[in-house]
A and B are shown apart, each in its own frame.
Chain A
């Protein structure tokens, strides 16, 4: 991969390389396939985190409903996989063979029209991007054109997350209800349940993750990225500089939704099912917490936050299932009060200066051109 020295500054480049080493080399070599699959699951939230960095960290638009987009991406993928698993041969004991099992249990005798396009793999891939993208566009256009923002927007996104869960649970025959879409087997004829497939999928996901990191970094470095920061601070000044603030907010919100959807689709593949428990208010807020802990101004921070908080969640909730939620809440409050820029802020304020001093004392200072931008991603 060719990395333009302007694309990442030195700190970011170190962060990029360190993360690439960890995800491409260290973890696959040191973890067994069960643990690696867990890491893959954690990383699906990093996609959401990257979107939140753009939308919330840079644009100042707090969305408490990213689970909706994560879920839409995940459900699109799950629908394709489910249709493939529900071939006539596999479902011949049903009263209507050839439709997903939960439809049969709910006395449906025909595949609903909106399921039909998901027979096609290319259309599914397109839908994973377009369905959440268009949905985010509609919400964004409805809210931002009317100048709904800040806390009101956050509450509305939360309400949408709640509505979405109720809708999925309520429409059992069409969506699989509270159990979600389960018993997924093959992707385009390739069995995704084997260890080998899980290994491959992990790498596919990491490559996609780096694709998203680069896309987000690209957006951040264009004038659009600076307009997002400007908008967060002085919305009126941006408006009276000739920009349509609403359009920029819609863009940031749609971008965040699409990143989240890619994560959701990967989640379905890694974990092998999709259910409404990843759509509602609680998972949506957890996703915001991962981003806040990692550092909402840092793309790499979002990835680290997702990894570390989920790792803590798995290990702690195994030993103290009741205490975990309190722990998560306390963590969030602590981060917001003490370290508003999360782990990346701590790194930048306390660790980076030492490294810089060390490097500076080792060799006579080379011209390192770029100053570290305020809130620039650290490792």
Chain B
């Protein structure tokens, strides 16, 4: 690993990251680097610490030690909303959308303007907002559902809506936690298509179990096991790594 002299052009540089919950190290001295426009998939068995890594990057969980540099900015010291404003977007495993608001209002809230208390009091729903919301709604297949309350949407549609809410934030680093989990076959295909479209021009960090899906999108795969990196490289490399076969992919 390149500790100490990592080149400057990494978008995300995680080094020596450790978090311990009452002595249990969920993530243990983890280091990895994500480049601009790279699609990185994190795989690993249950409890390997995949979701915890995303939680650490987006500030939901505080690191015990180590550093997370994003465009040279230290994320471990920032609050969650400041990390979002720095350009990191996070999608949760279970769809978390605002069910008492319409699809339009859900997307509007994510529009990156008027994020302070007084900014949101004076926020105007102007043409730029409407245009952007409609544009994103079309991408996430919800263009004709803009006035629908989000609690009326199917599970898959809620997942898309949340992806749309991230899109409208236009983050430089997009983190997706099992984006196709619990989706029907047709929804899954549409989601893959959607993801392939939205990952252009930004870096993406994805947790996924669906190997077919991983092969489709990954530039590089990181395999986590017990909070540490077991293997890292192309899908081809990882698939043939005996250690990975042993603990995760099976014989």
| A238/B109 contact (C-beta < 8 A), A226-B101, A233-B99, A233-B100 known | yes
| B117/A236 in contact, CB under 8 A | no
Bound CA–CA A222/B123 (angstroms):
7
Instruction: Tell me the residues in window 102-150 of chain B with beta carbons closer than 8 Å to chain A beta carbons.
Output: 105-106, 108-110, 112, 114-117, 120-123, 147, 149
Bound CA–CA A288/B188 (angstroms):
47
| A229/B81 in contact, CB under 8 A | no
Which of A68-76, A104-112, A240-248, A279-287 lies at the binding interface?
A240-248
Distance from B231 Cβ to chain A, minimum over Cβ atoms (Å): 30
Q: Quick one: which of A224, A234, A241 contacts B121, CB cutoff 8 A? A: A224
Q: Quick one: which of B58, B116, B120 contacts A240, CB cutoff 8 A? A: B58
Say whether A141 faces chain B, with CB atoms less than 8 Å apart.
no
Distance from A6 Cβ to chain B, minimum over Cβ atoms (Å): 11
Say whether A154 faces chain B, with CB atoms less than 8 Å apart.
no
Bound CA–CA A375/B97 (angstroms):
18
- Chain B's interface: helix, strand, loop or mixed, by majority? mixed
Bound CA–CA A223/B116 (angstroms):
11
Say whether B85 faces chain A, with CB atoms less than 8 Å apart.
yes
Distance from A266 Cβ to chain B, minimum over Cβ atoms (Å): 26
| B100/A229 in contact, CB under 8 A | yes
Say whether A318 faces chain B, with CB atoms less than 8 Å apart.
no
Query: Chain B residues near A375 (CB, 8 Å)?
Result: 100
| A239/B100 contact (C-beta < 8 A), A223-B108, A224-B121, A247-B116 known | no
| A241/B100 in contact, CB under 8 A | no
Distance from B113 Cβ to chain A, minimum over Cβ atoms (Å): 9
From B162, which residue of chain A is reached at the shortest CB distance? A237
| B120/A223 in contact, CB under 8 A | yes
From B80, which residue of chain A is reached at the shortest CB distance? A239
| B169/A241 in contact, CB under 8 A | yes
| A243/B123 contact (C-beta < 8 A), A229-B100, A237-B96 known | no
Say whether B10 faces chain A, with CB atoms less than 8 Å apart.
no
Bound CA–CA A139/B59 (angstroms):
25
Which residue, B90, B98, B112, has most C-beta atoms of chain A within 10 A? Answer: B98
Query: Chain A residues near B58 (CB, 8 Å)?
Result: 240
Query: Chain B residues near A251 (CB, 8 Å)?
Result: 117
Question: Size band of the A side of the interface?
Answer: 20 to 34
Q: Quick one: which of B98, B109, B162 contacts A223, CB cutoff 8 A? A: B109
Bound CA–CA A371/B104 (angstroms):
14
Q: Quick one: which of A224, A226, A234, A240 contacts B97, CB cutoff 8 A? A: A234
| A234/B96 in contact, CB under 8 A | yes
Bound CA–CA A179/B33 (angstroms):
69
From B115, which residue of chain A is reached at the shortest CB distance? A242
Query: Chain B residues near A238 (CB, 8 Å)?
Result: 109
| A234/B108 in contact, CB under 8 A | no
Say whether A130 faces chain B, with CB atoms less than 8 Å apart.
no
Q: Quick one: which of B101, B117, B147, B165 contacts A241, CB cutoff 8 A? A: B165
Query: Chain A residues near B81 (CB, 8 Å)?
Result: 239-240, 242-245
| A236/B109 in contact, CB under 8 A | no
Distance from B123 Cβ to chain A, minimum over Cβ atoms (Å): 4
Instruction: Tell me the residues in window 326-379 of chain A with beta carbons closer than 8 Å to chain B beta carbons.
Output: 371, 374-375
Q: Quick one: which of A222, A236, A237, A244 contacts B79, CB cutoff 8 A? A: A244
Q: Quick one: which of B97, B106, B115 contacts A243, CB cutoff 8 A? A: B115
| A230/B117 in contact, CB under 8 A | no
Say whether A155 faces chain B, with CB atoms less than 8 Å apart.
no
Say whether A219 faces chain B, with CB atoms less than 8 Å apart.
yes
Distance from A258 Cβ to chain B, minimum over Cβ atoms (Å): 14
Bound CA–CA A3/B165 (angstroms):
33
| A240/B80 contact (C-beta < 8 A), A229-B101, A371-B147 known | yes
Query: Chain A residues near B96 (CB, 8 Å)?
Result: 234, 236-237
18 cross-chain CB contacts under 8 A: A222-B120, A223-B114, A223-B123, A226-B105, A229-B98, A230-B98, A236-B60, A236-B96, A239-B80, A239-B84, A240-B84, A241-B109, A241-B165, A242-B115, A244-B115, A244-B116, A245-B81, A374-B149
Chain B positions within 8 Å of A, measured between CB atoms, are: 58, 60, 79-81, 84-85, 89-90, 92, 96-101, 105-106, 108-110, 112, 114-117, 120-123, 147, 149, 162, 165, 169
Given A222-B121, A237-B165, A247-B116, 12 other A-B contacts at CB below 8 A? A223-B114, A224-B117, A224-B120, A226-B105, A229-B101, A230-B106, A234-B98, A237-B92, A240-B58, A241-B109, A242-B81, A251-B117
